[in-house]
Amino acid sequence: MNLLNVENGRWVVIHSFRGGRGIQRRLAQLGFLPGNQARIIRSAPFHGPLLLEVEGREIVLGRGVAAHIIVEYV
């Protein structure tokens, strides 16, 4: 499943990525690497972006980006 299917607050492990290399690099810089854990802290209403916690940092991802991240529940 991708990040959009995850319940808010539950921890997930990042499995892999879809999409171009540019985004992958960008995400890697922010701590989205396979094996790392993440959780959705909150999401903005009206299908807005997600606020995630990953590697001790808070990162905002648009839904388009979040859909590219394949995760599993811990």
Partner 1 sequence: MRFALIGQPNCGKSTLFNQVAGYKAETGNFSGTTVQYKETKVRVLGDIIELVDLPGTYSLLGTNPAERVVLDYLVDRQVDAIINVIDATHLVQGLLLTLELMELGRPMVLAVNMMDDAVRQGISVDGEKLQKLLGIPVLPMIASRGQGVRDTFRQAWQVAEKKSKPIPQPYSDEVEKAVQDIRDHLKKKEFPVSRRAIAIKLLEGDPDITARVRQFDKAIGDRVVSYLDALCHSSTRQAVWMIAGERQKSARALSKKVSSHGEAQLSLRDHLDDFLLHPVLGYVFLVLIMGLFFWLVYGIGSRLEEPLLSFFDGLTAQIVSRFSSGGLLPQLIAGTIQGIAGGIAIVLPYLVPFLVGLGLLEDVGYLTRIAFLTDVLMHKMGLHGKAIVPFILGYGCSVPAIMSTRIMEDKRDRFLSAALVTMVPCAARLSVIFGLVAFYLGPWAALGIYFFNIFIIAIVAKVLTRFMPEDSPGLILEMPVYRMPTLRTVTAKAWFRIREFVVEAWPLLIAGSILLAMLNYFMVTPYLDLLFQPITWLLGLPSQVGTPLIFGIFRKELSMVMLAQALGTTDFGSVLSAQQMLVFTVFVVFYIPCISTIVTIRNELGTKHMWFIIGLSLLVAAIAALMTRGVLIVF
Binding region for partner 1 (CB under 8 A): 19-31, 33-36, 41-42, 44-49, 51, 55-65, 68
What DSSP letter does each residue of 4-67 carry, written as one string?
A: GGSPTT-EEEEEEE-S-HHHHHHHHHTT--TT-EEEEEEE-TTT--EEEEETTEEEEE-HHHHT
Minimum Å distance from CB 34 to partner 1?
Answer: 7
Closest to partner 1 by CB, 12 vs 59, is 59
For residue 72, the minimal CB distance to partner 1 (Å) is 18
